[in-house]
Amino acid sequence: MNKKGFGSRIVASPYILWAALFVIVPLIFVAYFAFTTPDGAFTLSNIAQIAKYKKAFFQSVLYSLIATIITLLISYPMAYFMTKMKVTAQKMIMVIVMLPMWMNFLIRTYSWISILANKGIINTFLSRLGIGPLKLINTPGAVILGMVYDFIPYMILPIYTVMSKIDDSLIEAASDLGANSFNRLKKVIIPLSFPGVISGITMVFVPCVSTFYISQKLGGNKNLLIGDAIEYLFNSGPDFYNVASALSLVLMIMILVCLFVMNYFTDSEEATIL
């Protein structure tokens, strides 16, 4: 027993070391910077400055929420219909979903610029038809589109995985007991796929809320998010590290609270009756 514990500790040690070095230590630095002045004295003024970035915070959360809801609305039916297809078709679609993930994130976002720009593909096409040009780039819509496009695989994958594991006989049992297709969806498929939905929401919302690149490239100057503010401050030199750290810390705590709430939902979902 002891021997086994020792063995598993040895096996785990590289990961523990990794986590300590690259996760815990940086977090301590962030916390330290957040509560100190550039001279190293304790202060709360960095935290107080967050009030200035209220709008960016608010926009980040709002855009991320909208993007998450849209990805969910697209992904859920898609995952559902995928499970109804032949296995070969399912694999095919899986590859198509994953394919963009093989490309660099920056290139994917950049390509949207050339599609949405004032002289981009869409507007060129529209002008041939005598419409436009429409203002597509540098709008909140473009930012949300970018978020949806970049993160949708992270929603489809967990939902599809959970859904494809639902035992067919459960769905047969539901129809056997008199449930039509709507009731089967409501009473069996949705509750059983709920864990997939929760992890999908988490995996889309968290990167959305902290993203900066998408908003810079597709949102112009007006739609800056909290991620942009943090990036801007860190790039402005060591004097601004403290405020930037304070913002990061607050964002992190916000995300942790979100995760906690999500987890609470999944747990209670399993324990109570729908």
Partner 1 sequence: MAKENILELKDIYVSFDGEKVLDGLSLDIKDKEFITLLGPSGCGKTTTLRIIAGFLEPDKGDVFFDGQNLVGVPAYKRQVNTIFQRYALFPHLNVYENIAFGMRVKKMPEEKIQKEVTDLLSLVNLEGFEKRRISTLSGGQQQRVAIARAIANRPKVLLLDEPLAALDLKLRKDMQKELRNMQQKLGITFIFVTHDQEEALTMSDRVVVMDKGKIQQVGTPIDIYNEPKNAFVADFIGESNIVDGVMKKDYLVDIAGHSFKCLDKGFEENEAVDVVIRPEDVDIVPSKQGEICGEVTSIAFLGVHYEIIVDIDGFKWMIQTTDAAKVGDKVGLIIEPDAIHIMKKSEYSGLYGDYSSYSDEIDQLSNPDEIAEDIADE
Note the residues at the interface with partner 1 (CB under 8 A). 167, 169-170, 172-180, 183, 187-188, 191-192, 269-270, 273-274
| CA dist., res. 268 & res. 262, Å (int) | 10
Q: Are 240 and 233 in contact (CB under 8 A)?
A: yes
| CA dist., res. 84 & res. 170, Å (int) | 15
Q: Are 55 and 228 in contact (CB under 8 A)?
A: no
The residue among 2 and 169 lying less far from partner 1, judged by its C-beta, is 169
The residue among 96 and 170 lying less far from partner 1, judged by its C-beta, is 170
| CA dist., res. 111 & res. 133, Å (int) | 19
Q: Shortest Cβ distance from residue 195 to partner 1 (Å)? A: 10
Residue 203 backbone class (left: φ over 0; alpha: ψ -120 to 50; beta: rest): alpha
Q: Shortest Cβ distance from residue 172 to partner 1 (Å)? A: 5
- Label each residue of 109-148 as H, E or C: HHHHHHHHCCCCHHHHHHHHCCCCCCCCCCCHHHHHHHHH
The residue among 13 and 183 lying less far from partner 1, judged by its C-beta, is 183
Q: Shortest Cβ distance from residue 134 to partner 1 (Å)? A: 46
The residue among 96 and 173 lying less far from partner 1, judged by its C-beta, is 173
Q: Shortest Cβ distance from residue 73 to partner 1 (Å)? A: 23
Kindly tell me the number of DSSP H helices and DSSP E strands found in the chain. 14, 0
The residue among 42 and 182 lying less far from partner 1, judged by its C-beta, is 182
Distances (CA, A) of 169 to 189, 190, 195, 225: 12, 16, 20, 47
Q: Shortest Cβ distance from residue 262 to partner 1 (Å)? A: 18
